[in-house]
Amino acid sequence: MNASGPICEHCGELYEGRAYRVTSEEDGILLLDMIVCHSCSIEARRLGLDTRKHDIRHIAFN
């Protein structure tokens, strides 16, 4: 088993718990699509980006 968790695609930190998917779309074009940690998701939401909970198991087995 790999003990390390997923790495945030924004800050590069290992994190545990809930992952968040941050996307930004403009005129139907996806400008941004990354899986981030909780603190980055808060920051993203503050910037007005679309954030939603992401099932971490999808990343672990990718």
Residues that bind Zn ion (CB under 5 A): 8, 10-11, 36-37, 40
CB of 39 vs Zn ion, minimal distance in Å = 6
By beta-carbon proximity to Zn ion, the closer residue of 11 and 60 is 11
* Rounded CA separation 10/23 (Å): 12
Give the distance, in angstroms, between the CA of residue 16 and the centroid of all CA atoms in the same chain: 12
What burial class does residue 40 get, using C-beta atoms within 10 Å of its C-beta: 0-12 exposed, 13-18 middle, 19+ buried? buried
CB of 59 vs Zn ion, minimal distance in Å = 13
By beta-carbon proximity to Zn ion, the closer residue of 7 and 62 is 7
